[in-house]
Amino acid sequence: MPETPPVLMVFTGGTISMKVVPGRGAVPAQSGREILDQVPQLASLARITCEDFDRLPGPHWTPERMLALAHDLDRSLKNGPFVGAVVTHGTDTLEETAYLLELVLETDKPVVITGAMRTADDPEWDGPGNLLAAVRAVLAPHDPPGGVRVVIGGAEHEAGAVVKSHTSALNAFTSTRDTRRRRERIQTARIEPRVDLVTATVGGDARFLEHAVATGARGIVVAAFGAGNVPPAMLPGVRAAAAAGIPVVVSSRCGRGPTEARYGYDGGGMSLRASGAIFAGELPAHKARIKLMVLLGSGATAATIRDSFERPGP
């Protein structure tokens, strides 16, 4: 009988590790080994090596910790016999970690992120099924090979396209696009966390943009209306930030579709472009923020940052 392939499984916390404590609610409670002991079927698929990287709820993650996870995965996958890795993660920020890993990981081995929407003491705990599906995804052939994918709730998603679109459904994750994209890699040993996100709202003005500049932001992402438009009173804030050398990236509040310089009125995309703004394409604002953090951390020039966001996809 052929030997099962070796797979690294990195546990970082999240709902998949949680139990409900009376009076406190759901909190991380289980180690990776304790979780694995409840999924004996994994042994028929792969030889699992368990690593406890952390025991964090999703909202406790930081960009710096995400980058540390990427470096840990690269070391383990380079030095170990593994064919790939599964990473468990809290679902609230899973999509951001998945995208950061997609950008910065050096390995060509597949990495699959998963988690759970129900705690381990819930009769509907979805952790075991998601772990089994994630290991199968690591072992399945993909063209191109490698890359980062999210497998949860019976579906597989690209790291750049996946979003959590429901607060509590077992199939809470969806994709913002239907077509695959070529993986983009950005080499960096650090990340720039001082990137702020400002959301356009009806009647909004430049106050939050001005505050971001005044408090040391190194980059700003604007979650704009529609295809990339803001109230006219926000435009001076975009113009001032760009003039100060702070990259301003325009994403959309909409769930699908690209941003572009289409409208010519005050605050429309053409006036944002003339003010020096960069358009994020199909990236939602929270992922555009992750990408800008990575690019700034890598020391990318203004031209490189613009090209990275705006060059046409394959």
What are the residue numbers of the active site?
15
Gyration radius from the chain CA atoms = 20
Spatial neighbors of 313 by CB under 8 A, at least 6 apart, are: 181, 182, 281, 282
The gap from C-alpha 284 to its chain's centroid, in whole angstroms, comes to: 10
Cβ contact 14:130 at 8 Å: no
- Measured distance CA(179)–CA(154) in Å, rounded: 19
- Measured distance CA(97)–CA(287) in Å, rounded: 9
- Which letter, b or e, does each residue of 155-181 get, where b requires 16 or more Cβ atoms within 10 Å of its Cβ? ebbbbbbbbbeeeeebebbbbbeeeee
Could you please report the per-residue DSSP string of 211-228?
HHHHTT-SEEEEEEBTTT
The number of C-alpha atoms within 13 Å of 156 and in the hemisphere containing its C-beta is: 17
Q: What is the DSSP letter of 164?
A: E
Token pair in block for residue 299: 């020391």
Cβ contact 29:18 at 8 Å: yes
